[in-house]
Structure 1
Amino acid sequence: MSWITGVGLTSFGRHEGKSSLDLMALAATAALGDAGLTRRSVDGLVSRHGSDVVGCAQPSERSARRIVQPIPSVLASDATPRCASMASADRQMICDATLVCGYATTMPHIMLATLFAEHFGVQPRYAHAVQAGGATGFALIMLAHLVVAGGAADHVLVAAGENRLSGQTRDMTLQTLAQAGHARYEVPLGATVPAYYGLVASRYMHEFSTTERDLAELAVLMRRHAGSHPGAQLRAALTVDDVLASPPVALPLKRMDCCPISDGAAAFIISREPLSAHSLRIIGTAQRHSHQHVSAAADLVSRHRSDVVGCAQPSERSARRIAQPIPSVLASDATPRCASMASADRQMIGDATLAHYGAKDAMARAMTQAGVDLRDVGYAAIYDSFTITLAILLEEIGLCARGQAGQAAAAGRFSADGELPLNTHGGLLSYGHCGVAGALAHLAEAHLQMTRRAGARQIAREPAVAMLHGDGGIMSSHISLILERTR
């Protein structure tokens, strides 16, 4: 069992002059403060007590003899050593910290977790950096949950952030995003992430009669929610016609179907026990990784007994089409992907059924672990890098029927005052997207809504259970979380 006891989130947009590490430090300091673990409380415990929280201390029975190092100022100039202004007693290099963080495309360091620890002025006994594309944020939370639940730490600081908007040029961004493609089979064709999602959108719209107007409804919903959040990057009113008239990026996706690039950061404290009335319990976590590259993804429809990538299944609309297995990108080019499968796994059996990218499986297992089902969920935080991403995830998870996400949004189902409030901060599409922290902003909003601290955005209902889902790569890595409010 673990609890989210502290939340820190910066505004998203342009933070000129702030490095990725600076932004992460700002969010981390806010999360520690939200958990009630302040510099002042550390000073009172510095002589004999500590905890597993990075840089802050509330003693546990197991760590009563530990001494932790307080947090230095995150507002000092980059030229100032982080510990320079600390009292000599505070500079003692005796620290018992636990830290996990994500990657940053503007700082591709091979040891980012310890790089941030040094910048933040701590010496963790456990540090871990994770990479799972857009799903990385929730992967960090799941890892921290497992570390705490397994008894390896009392508290873990999760930190992520990036100056993706101000810290790199447009060409650098395009080059970075292009690496999502397969180096041999996709990158030489010149596509980037929007193009890959454009391909996914075209096929999905063909199969389920989703229209561009349906997708636009999701963009409009996210913008309406962002309009009441002062930290959102895009807040100007948006209509369906505005979305449809926006310039094409990778048809059928247009500019307003795509998330903006942002600077920003988010951080969380994951603890073994609740520290305040606004602590939320993590009761379910699960992952599913179905493929890495879009050219190796299972067809939307296939004919076999599981979701195994590379054995294909047609849809009702194309029941007579049986797809050819994808050649393996891990073995020699001459070896078919299915060649090493057991004969039973290669058997094309059953009627045409719908394949899934992995979201359905991850969410179902997280809910089973939590002992809840869709009827118990009162708030949803779903990854939305593109409108098609949000549409597919909502439908695959089961929050609406295939091809119906846009219509459900237009009817008010996912509005702040609707049956199932969704991404009430504006999501990636309007709050912004700065890499790993993009998805974590969804978690920050879910936490604020469930603990009734969302201010003017506060929803009327009081959900006891929230579901969160992150997507990495091109619908390839899926991570689901279930949160519970217990008081």
Structure 2
Amino acid sequence: MTSPRIVGVGMTDFGVHERPLVELFADAAFAAFDDAGVEGGEIDAFYLGNAMGGQTERDTHLAPTLASHVGLAGIPCQRYEDACATSSNAFKHAVRAVESGRHDVVLVGGVERCTPATGLGTPEMTAVFASAAHRQYEQPTGLSFPGVFGLLTTRHMHEHGTTEEDLAAVAVKNHRHGTLNSRAQFGKETTVEEVLDSPLVASPFHLMDCCPFSDGAAAAIVASEEAAASLSGDPVGVAGVGHATDVVPLADKADLTATRSAREAAAQAYEEADIAPDHVDVAEVHDCFTGAEVLAIEALGFVEDGAGGPAAAAGTTALGGEIPVNPSGGLKAKGHPIGATGVAQLVELTEQLRGEAGDRQVADAEYALAHNLGGDAATTVVSVLEVVA
């Protein structure tokens, strides 16, 4: 089996975009082509992440449509949908296809529009997001994802003493990081007081505890070690990928604060990469809500269970801290266009391992980890990237 490499990356700004999906994705894909030094004729397959185009855009069969737009008609194309873990799942399949020798060079990416530019307002888009909840047991009750993660986080607060100030510190950290990222939707700092003074959305989350609706696209070129050697892109190694699921609906989970799928996916990725959590130098985790970052850093083994709450306020997860988490600004500040989020994490980490992250660069980073969850954390994909000689 060959060792997969990420040889090129590209992404758009995240925010509000009026342009259609095909144009958004093309911007990210062509940037990845240029970064890798690859021509369209050298790409063997295309794996796309798009979660909601059928509902928000009335646009399905997207993979061949986007492939045609970027000059890749005729190659195998596949669209993946796995809620917010959509493009990470596409990435996993691209990696496995390259490892097996089925393909040598694969374009993988994601695109989504979730803002009012789609013509849908916040209530309608919230309902679209909620379609990832259980159809019989959760959707009819009106449970939306701020409520889902509010329940998970409230239980963590009960068990471990996590406070609303701890949660607000996560938002403050990630907004500070976002000021260093020109592609972030929110490039403005905030304070704990401002977070706590923002409107209550779903206890314990205030508005500033929640990630925004976003539009955007991200793309990466995955190649075999042999193919990478013939390209001009600066390669980053894919050391391990783990993918696990948990019980749906929420009420049937054995432990609400464990986010079991993240622990199992991380264990798989660590084993495949032959590393432990303390080898990771920088991470991008799925902070759709501030409480989600707290749960994630515990599940990934960066801190002990129960210690995730005060980590941001203590500086543990800030740039310059013990384990910098979400130097991009995370979903909270960078933005969250569902289908693009997983690959966008990989774009950030590729740039970190190349030493190209500018003011948010983590010094001497050798291992980087991406944690991308879907639904009520019932799906998690964890990817470990590494510097290669």
TM superposition score normalised by structure 1: 0.75
**Displacement, 1:15?**
1.6
- Which residue of structure 1 aligns with residue 335 of structure 2? 432
Deviations 1:26-69 (A, max 9, x none): 1001100110125xxx7xxxxxxx42x1xxxxxxxxxxxxxxxx
Residue 471 in 1 paired to residue 373 in 2? yes
Structure 2 vs 1, CA of residues 156 and 188 (structure 1 numbering), >3 Å: closer, same or farther?
same
Separation (CA, whole Å) in 2 of partners of 1:425 and 1:186: 33
Residue 32 in 1 paired to residue 36 in 2? no
Question: Pairwise CA RMSD of aligned residues?
Answer: 1.7
Q: For 2:108, which of 158, 162, 177 is the aligned residue? A: 158
- Which residue of structure 1 aligns with residue 208 of structure 2? 256
Unaligned runs of 5+ in 1: 43-49, 54-96, 302-354
- Which residue of structure 2 aligns with residue 317 of structure 1? none
Separation (CA, whole Å) in 1 of partners of 2:109 and 2:142: 33
Q: Percent identity?
A: 36
Amino acid at match of 1:442: Q
Deviations 1:425-476 (A, max 9, x none): 10000000111212322211111111011122223x2111112111110011
Amino acid at match of 2:330: G
Structure 2 vs 1, CA of residues 465 and 108 (structure 1 numbering), >3 Å: closer, same or farther?
farther
- Which residue of structure 2 aligns with residue 366 of structure 1? 269
1:375 partner SS: helix
Contact 1:223–1:429 (8 Å) recurs in 2: yes
Contact 1:144–1:270 (8 Å) recurs in 2: yes
**Displacement, 1:126?**
1.5
1:410 partner SS: coil
Contact 1:13–1:232 (8 Å) recurs in 2: yes
Contact 2:137–2:249 (8 Å) recurs in 1: no
- Which residue of structure 2 aligns with residue 215 of structure 1? 167
Separation (CA, whole Å) in 2 of partners of 1:393 and 1:117: 34
Which stretch shows the higher mean deviation, 203-212 or 110-119? 110-119
Separation (CA, whole Å) in 2 of partners of 1:149 and 1:162: 28
Residue 169 in 1 paired to residue 112 in 2? no
The list of structure 1 runs, each at least 4 consecutive aligned residues, that deviate by more than 4 angstroms after superposition, is none
**Displacement, 1:110?**
4.2
Residue 462 in 1 paired to residue 364 in 2? yes
Structure 2 vs 1, CA of residues 232 and 407 (structure 1 numbering), >3 Å: closer, same or farther?
same
- Which residue of structure 1 aligns with residue 234 of structure 2? 278
User: Larger RCO: Structure 1 or Structure 2 (Cα < 8 Å, ≥ 6 residues apart)?
Assistant: 2
Structure with greater proportional helix content? 2
Bigger CA radius of gyration? 1
1:394 partner SS: helix
Which stretch shows the higher mean deviation, 254-263 or 178-187? 178-187
**Which residues in structure 2 correspond to 1:229-378 (within 5 Å)?**
229-273=181-225, 274=228, 275-276=231-232, 278-300=234-256, 356-378=259-281
Separation (CA, whole Å) in 2 of partners of 1:470 and 1:255: 22
Residue 123 in 1 paired to residue 25 in 2? no
Contact 2:51–2:86 (8 Å) recurs in 1: no
1:463 partner SS: coil
- Which residue of structure 1 aligns with residue 15 of structure 2? 13
1:412 partner SS: coil
- Which residue of structure 2 aligns with residue 393 of structure 1? 296
Unaligned runs of 5+ in 2: none
Separation (CA, whole Å) in 2 of partners of 1:382 and 1:410: 17
Separation (CA, whole Å) in 2 of partners of 1:371 and 1:276: 28
**Displacement, 1:190?**
1.3
Separation (CA, whole Å) in 1 of partners of 2:318 and 2:280: 15
Q: For 1:201, which of 128, 143, 153 is the aligned residue? A: 153
Number of aligned residues: 378
Amino acid at match of 2:250: V
Separation (CA, whole Å) in 2 of partners of 1:288 and 1:433: 21
**Displacement, 1:133?**
1.2
TM superposition score normalised by structure 2: 0.93
**Displacement, 1:3?**
0.3
